[in-house]
Amino acid sequence: MPTIVMASSKGGAGKTTAAVLLASELARQGAEKGIGVTLIDADPNQHSAKWANKEGRPANLSVVENSDEESIIEDIESAEEQTPFVIVDLEGTASIAVANAIARADLVVTLCQGSQDDADEAVKTIKLIKRQGKVLKREIPFSVLFTRTSAAITPRTFKYILNEFESAGVDVFKTSLIDRDAFRAIRSFGGTVNDLDPKEVSGIDKAAQNVKAYASEVKQKLSELMSERVA
Amino acid sequence: MAERAGLDFDIDDGEDVDISALVKPKKDKAERPANEKEVITKTAEESGFSSRQPKKTRRRGKRSPYTQQKNVKMRPGMPELFIDVCEKLGLKDYELMEHAIEAVLQKHKLKEEQESFKELVKSK
């Protein structure tokens, strides 16, 4: 029952997009195998829950709304009892809710756009993850996922930030979530990227490929972590 | 500087991990420290992460019935004597004043005023 936490102490980093895309893709893949996914919305703005309450949410995707710093640990534990996959979407602030969720994570996805402010906040979150791991006496795996990247160009600032992370030995997703209209569209229409109408939204195929690659990398990381634990 | 390698989305399906392989046994809660919540909060606060939960508002206790003021002229030294008596009897100044009024009403048998007094102190 992997619990994957989307964490960044900065708002607008792409946590909800990353959470919704991963939850819907894992639910899509798990549908025929009877594997369920729970999406916990611990952001007071409840954007994940708003998406989930629109039509088209996969039947095997459950949503826990209005989770907060008091309830989040119990919400995660309860969700882990119900479904094999638990995804947690957090508020973009440096809050205790973030710390509580991190403590229960099998993988923390730290969201970051290609800007210095985002990178600074990602580092702040990474420091917390490392400290939590130290005091809880277990390594909390994490990886940085770049969001809202450009498909056409790689700006210098982005390259510089990427290089900084890699030089510091921080694990970074090879896939990034590209700034695509399809990712915004599912928040308007509901459902998954694959359900979008090509007449309404362009670039659905590429968006679906992007989501699949992202989910595939998450699964690869989880698989490696499971192998490490067994070994 | 090297180009970022991760923008190639063409992942061979053969390399993709089957989702069923990631369904693992339930977690062992016994491994967690008893004071885990305190440890998490302390570490979070040291890392600049603080509570965003609205603070629970303390419920106000019962309102004091002593809301009116009365300035009284006294002989020099009388205020100090008043305070000494309060301290000796363990009373607040407003309580001693009420005791004094009650004693006067009883001494002079002022029945009507005694009824008014009882009515006034009911709310206490």
Using an 8 Å CB-CB cutoff, list chain B residues near A162.
4
Largest CA distance in chain A: 52
What is the per-residue pLDDT across A31-82, written as a single tens digit (0 to 9) for each? 999 999 999 999 999 999 999 999 999 999 999 999 999 999 999 999 999 9
pTM: 0.76
Identify the residue whose tokens are 């909390």: A140
Query: What CA–CA distance (Å, rounded) separates B7 from A176?
Result: 7
For residues B11 and A212, the answer to whether their CB atoms sit within 8 Å is yes
DSSP annotation of A76:
H
Whether residue B95 lies inside any domain: the answer is yes
For residues A1 and B29, the answer to whether their CB atoms sit within 8 Å is no
Contact criterion met (CB < 8 Å) for A222 and B6: no
Sheet holding A177-178, edge to edge: A61-64, A37-42, A85-90, A3-7, A107-112, A142-149, A177-178
Reference B38, options A96, A89, A71; nearest CA is A96
The overall average pLDDT reported for chain A is 93
Whether residue B17 lies inside any domain: the answer is no
Query: Mind listing the domains of chain A with CATH numbers?
Result: 3-230 (3.40.50.300)
Contact criterion met (CB < 8 Å) for A33 and B52: no
Nearest neighbour of B41 by CB, restricted to A96, A136, A206: A96
Identify the residue whose tokens are 């919400």: A75
Query: What CA–CA distance (Å, rounded) separates A90 from A3?
Result: 13
Whether residue B100 lies inside any domain: the answer is yes
Whether residue B31 lies inside any domain: the answer is no
A205 to chain B, any CB pair closer than 8 A? The answer is no
Whether residue B46 lies inside any domain: the answer is no
What part of A 185-204 touches B (C-beta under 8 Å)? none
Closest CA of chain A from B62, distance in Å: 30
Residue of A1, A67, A227 best to disrupt the B interface, most CBs of B under 10 A: A1
Angle at A94 (CA atoms; ends A93, A96), nearest 5 degrees: 110
Phi-psi bin for A12: left (phi > 0), alpha (psi -120 to 50), beta?
Answer: left
DSSP annotation of A84:
S
Whether residue B78 lies inside any domain: the answer is no
- The answer to which of A128-137, A199-208, B5-14 has the lowest mean pLDDT is B5-14
Query: What CA–CA distance (Å, rounded) separates B16 from A50?
Result: 30
Using an 8 Å CB-CB cutoff, list chain A residues near B11.
212-213, 216
Reference B19, options A21, A104, A1; nearest CA is A1
Residue of B11, B38, B42 best to disrupt the A interface, most CBs of A under 10 A: B11
In the Cβ-directed half-sphere of A113, how many Cα atoms lie within 13 Å?
Answer: 14
Whether residue B32 lies inside any domain: the answer is no
Whether residue B117 lies inside any domain: the answer is yes
Q: How many domains does chain B have?
A: 1
For residues A84 and A36, the answer to whether their CB atoms sit within 8 Å is yes
A30 to chain B, any CB pair closer than 8 A? The answer is yes
Residue of A218, A219, A225 best to disrupt the B interface, most CBs of B under 10 A: A219
Query: What CA–CA distance (Å, rounded) separates A33 from A30?
Result: 5
Give, in order, the Cα–Cα distances in Å from B86 to each of B67, B81, B102.
19, 9, 16
Nearest neighbour of A175 by CB, restricted to B6, B21, B53: B6
pLDDT of residue A124: 92
More confident residue, A183 or B62: A183
- What average pLDDT score do residues A185-193 get? 93
- Tell me the ipTM for this assembly: 0.79
Domain that holds residue B118: 90-124
A206 to chain B, any CB pair closer than 8 A? The answer is yes
Question: Is the pLDDT score of A127 beyond 60?
Answer: yes
Question: Is the pLDDT score of B10 beyond 80?
Answer: no
Contact criterion met (CB < 8 Å) for B10 and A209: yes
